[in-house]
Amino acid sequence: MKLPVYMDSNATTPVDPRVLEAMMPYFTEHFGNAASKTHSFGWKAEEAVETARRKIAALINAKPREIIFTGGATESNNLAIRGIAEMYRYKGNHIITAQTEHKSVLNTCERLKTEGFEVTVLPVDKYGLVDPDDVRSAITGETILVTIMTASNEIGTIAPVKEIGAVARERSVLFHTDAAQAAGKIPFDVEEMNIDLASITAHKMYGPKGTGALYVRHEMVDSHKENPRVKLKPIINGGGHEGGMCSGTLNVPGIVGFGTACEICQKEMPQESKRLIALRDRLYNAIAEKIDEVYLNGHPVKRLPNNLNLAFLYAEGQSILMDLKNIAFSSGSACNSAKPGPSYVLMALGIGEERAFNSVRFGLHRFNTEEEVDYVAEEVIKTVKKLRQMSPLYMLRSGGSQG
């Protein structure tokens, strides 16, 4: 077994060798600009981009023309939210989101508030779930967008996206979901789930960093005039790439890798999900068997196959991380790691500061092995026991004995 062991795949995944192999010719041999229309180098690049677009669309049951390439999910989230806000401001100025959204959603909404938009931030329950009835109650005549993530990057909870989308659709409100963590890991169907816009990214599904996409519904829903195709106001101006929605030279190697990653996920997702669930449960059970007062953060069933977020009372999460140099995992979102304090996602669950501070997140990936899982469990158990021996509160509570 090679050290260190990587278990932080909700932050990013390793690039699948099959993805890298597909990308390599587009760095060296087929290096043309996909927007160059006058020679074979450009034609070859454009052909590769359109092939990848079809593969990405197939993964989420979209049409290729509904896929807009971006630099990643953060850019996709910004384009979706700001693009809708500016395009549909004549209809209203109200946006609905939730406490546990990614910062690229929450901060974009905060910025829009300074520009005269109203934002309702819905609470979540103890598992991190948004109640569709809360969405229904929050919609007003001024509401133009609901944005709720499909699956949490921190606690792995999977939202009732289909039900939320149905609520938005019955009220003729557009629905956007940040699906960066979900696409490629669990079934994700934009038609079945009543989705108008969806943000996805390559590096969460064994593709390269710096390449993402935004699904934008192109067709009218059931031919109803109140649900026409979705239109966006561009947030980046330039040469009119991607139908004018996202100008800039396309990252052809990255897009090729993205398409290949989606193709692999579509073929292997059912068996891969079962395998990851088995490894995740093996890790949890091994730890819980030897350590008392371990709590699962997030929904016990409605969660991503690869996510395990645990709270160890009397053992601070950062101390666990610092002690385990040969294991790569985290105490929360990589996008929020620079800010001290407990995770805002965990605090939204109502678990309290102590449990939030004592939490760590494991993100398994397709190349993890049972041997790695057993090693991680053993090392975590030793570290938690050691830290608890240094905790006066734990020693007082246990009467000096280690559970």
CATH of the domain at 225: 3.40.640.10
pLDDT for 295 equals 97
For residue 346, tell me if it sits in a domain. yes
pLDDT of 403 over the 70 cut: no
290 within a domain of the structure (yes/no): yes
pLDDT for position 238: 81
Domain-embedded: residue 160: yes
- Using the 3D structure, point to which of 262, 280, 310 is the last residue of a domain: 262
Residue 403 lies in a domain: no
Q: Tell me: do 162 and 302 sit in the same domain.
A: no
Q: Kindly list the distances between the CA atom of residue 261 and the CA atoms of 6, 16, 201, 360, in Å, as whole numbers in the listed order.
A: 19, 8, 10, 28
**Cα 310 from Cα 358, distance rounded (Å):** 8
The encoded tokens of residue 191 equal 């038609």
* pLDDT band per the 50, 70, 90 thresholds, residue 192: very high
Confidence at 331, pLDDT banded by 50, 70, 90: confident
Q: Find the DSSP H helices in 65-185.
A: 73-87, 103-113, 132-138, 161-170
**Does any domain span residue 191?**
yes
| Residue 209 clears pLDDT 80, i.e. is over it | yes
- Pair 75, 189 in one domain: yes
* Residues 15-28, mean pLDDT to the nearest whole number: 98
Give the CATH number, domain containing residue 359. Answer: 3.90.1150.10
Same domain as 230, residue 86? yes
- Whole-number pLDDT of residue 144: 98
Tell me what pLDDT residue 222 has. 54
Burial of 59 (0-12, 13-18, 19+ CB in 10 A): buried
Of 262, 297, 312, the residue that ends a domain is 262
The mean pLDDT of 264-287, rounded to a whole number, is 98
pTM: 0.94
pLDDT at 223 over 50: no
Same domain for 226 and 374? no
pLDDT score for 227: 53
Model confidence at 229, in pLDDT bands (50, 70, 90)?
confident
42/163 same-domain check: yes
When mean pLDDT is compared across 212-226, 230-244, 350-364, the lowest value belongs to 212-226
**Number of structural domains in the chain:** 2
Q: For 38-84, how does the pLDDT look when each residue is reduced to its tens digit (9 = 90+)?
A: 999 998 999 999 999 999 999 999 999 999 999 999 999 999 999 99
> Do 100 and 135 fall into the same domain?
yes
Judge if 197 and 292 occupy the same domain.
no
- pLDDT(365) > 80: yes
Q: What domain range is 84 assigned to? A: 17-262
Does residue 345 sit in the same domain as residue 255?
A: no
Enumerate the active-site residues.
335
Instruction: Identify whether the C-beta of residue 8 lies closer than 8 Å to the C-beta of residue 328.
Output: yes
Residues 73-113: tens digit of each pLDDT: 999 999 999 999 999 999 999 999 999 999 999 999 999 99
Whether residue 85 sits in one domain with residue 216 = yes
Say whether both 273 and 258 belong to one domain: no
* 103 within some domain: yes
* Residue among 288, 346, 290, 289 at smallest CA distance from 317: 346
Closest CA to 129 of 170, 164, 84: 164
Say if 153 falls within a structural domain.
Answer: yes
Residue 368 has pLDDT above 80, yes or no: yes
Is omega for the bond preceding 4 within 30 degrees of 0, making it cis? Answer: yes
Residue that is last in its domain, among 262, 291, 319: 262
Does 360 lie in the same domain as 377? Answer: yes
How large is the average pLDDT for residues 224-253?
79
Q: What is the pLDDT of residue 17?
A: 98
What is the H or E stretch that residue 59 is in?
A: helix 40-60
Mean pLDDT (the chain, rounded): 93
Q: Are residues 145 and 257 in the same domain?
A: yes
In a domain? residue 292: yes
